[in-house]
Structure 1
Amino acid sequence: MSATPGPDPRRARARRWAGVALVLVLGGLGIAVFVTAITPHGSSQVIAPSTRATEVPTVADVIYVHILGQVMRPGLYELHDGDRAVDAVAAAGGFTQTADPGGLNLARLVSDGEQIVVPAVGEVPAAGSASVPGKVNLNTADAAALDTLPGVGPATAAKIIAWRQQNGRFSSVEDLLDVGGIGQSKFESLRDLVTV
């Protein structure tokens, strides 16, 4: 009578390792499914920041912009002088799926202390994002906003925008005196209605 061979220890060890590997793979898949389930979904649009020459910012170049409304992470963001609204949206993680990207001029320059509200689709956009309520911001206003000022028509509004494009941001309200067609008397009528 021949002896029956016992279980091969190598096979038993291989089966054990295969079982451990299977448990690890299934555990990893379970974690992946869990993470996917708790991660917010939707067709949020992430906006890439504008491309500017890379430069080391100085303290004077740092500005703070408060962005809220239909962005992924509303809040206060540190940007750089010369950044645009697209940079603020990108810093806040991009638009939510309910945002109306057309309700915001992404190309406009932002200013220190500004608040930007991104509207939802169908929502009326906030009237300007001036840093001082009730005043027209010379650095961000478009021709229509400038045209609301007394004594400023389409031609003067175009000159203000052209000056801004040629010289950069207005550093003070008094810079208006450098714009062609704005003399001392017109400046005095605008001084308390504008901000930078």
Structure 2
Amino acid sequence: MMGADFWSRRRAAVRAEAEAEVAEAARIAEVQAETLRAKTEAEKTDEELLIELGLPDPDSLKAGDDFTAFMSRAVPARLRNRALRKLWVSNPVLANLDGLVDHAEDYTDVATVMPDMKTAYQVGKGMLAHVQELARQAEALANPQPAPEPVAEEPAPEEAPEMIADAPEAEAPATPAFTDTPQDDDAQPMPRRHMRFVFADSH
């Protein structure tokens, strides 16, 4: 039983390899034919190609004419582009863009569509940080925290005015009174004398 399964898988693999080889050979032949055709078309003029394909001159077309014949794969790219340019000019809707066409911008590189564009997307994390911030804000709104009471600041102690003790006035030296002898400035002061009064007895 196991041998039959093995040979069945082997035959299927051989068929797949043969089909892949045929498809690759067909692709190579198509590429070669396309290259040869492009080379042959490049050597011919537009008028010669239009006659061979049985197509009218694209510049002679006007609004309402059938442009679909130029969309065929057998038509060279340069003839197709001429027909498309004539189509845009012949149709006012296509020729006069009002700037409101959403798909008129170049979206080949999304990062350059808007200059200086910033995003919360992080490689490997996606929009995780943005989602976490939204969740935090929602939780803060649902459970508001009471505002802390303001702490009264203690006033700074006023500096006590500097108490300057009045220096005691030096006691002025006593001036000797009723001295009979003059004194020099450098001489020591004489001791104070007391006057004595004697009254005679009156009879």
TM-score by length of 2: 0.25
TM-score by length of 1: 0.25
Higher strand share: 1
Instruction: Specify the structure having the higher radius of gyration (Cα).
Output: 2
Higher helix share: 2
The one of the two structures with greater contact order (alpha-carbon pairs below 8 A, sep at least 6) is 1
